[in-house]
Amino acid sequence: MFLTERLFTVTSLHAQAESSRGEFLTQIASLVALSTVTAFPGSANAAKYGAIGAAPTGVLDPKDAIIDDEVFATSAVQTALKEVKTYASLVSEMKTALASNSQVNLGPVIRKQFDFAKLRSDLNTFNSAFDEETQRGTDRLVRGIIQDLTELEKANEQKDGIERSERRVANVNAKLDKLLIAFNDIIAFAP
């Protein structure tokens, strides 16, 4: 009797092992598939169908912006718009300077010409000419400009005596391009 019980126990353990082995192989196959997806991700174009997902979320098309003409005509808004255009031209000048000398230090220009408090004030004053719905999108552009400027300042940093590599030059150039696009995007809201 003891031998029969033992044989039955071994047979049922063997059946459980087969079941567990099949489950194990299924789990391994799932993990391999999952790791392949995370190790080799595809392009991130999932949300870009036509115009959907092509522009920053929540930012209206400038032609759909609702502008308060009286506020836009004020000297404060006109001065702010002029300053924003000056900032954009400064970014273009920095691109030109970097193209002519890849080792140029843009830090002094960034700190002197792009005072964050004044820049934010100018952008917010310009932004005050729009209705609330339009401001919801232009506020995102304002935050993007501030962020892009911060990233540019960080990308520009270079240790004394060490030349900027081609990769770092390309990175600074990309930050300048991104900042210029951001300025042009908000300027496009001016009628």
Domain boundaries, the chain: 1-41, 62-187
CATH number of 62-187: 1.20.120.290
Q: Which residue numbers in the chain have pLDDT < 50? A: 7, 10, 43-55
Q: What is the pLDDT of residue 49?
A: 45
Check if the beta carbon of residue 104 is closer than 8 Å to that of residue 97.
yes
d(CA 145, CA 132): 19
Residues 6+ apart with CB under 8 A from 153: 107, 110, 111
pLDDT at position 53 is: 45
pLDDT of residue 59: 67
What is the pLDDT, as a whole number, of residue 191? Answer: 83
Distance (Å, whole) CA 145 – CA 142: 5
Place of tokens 């196959």: 29
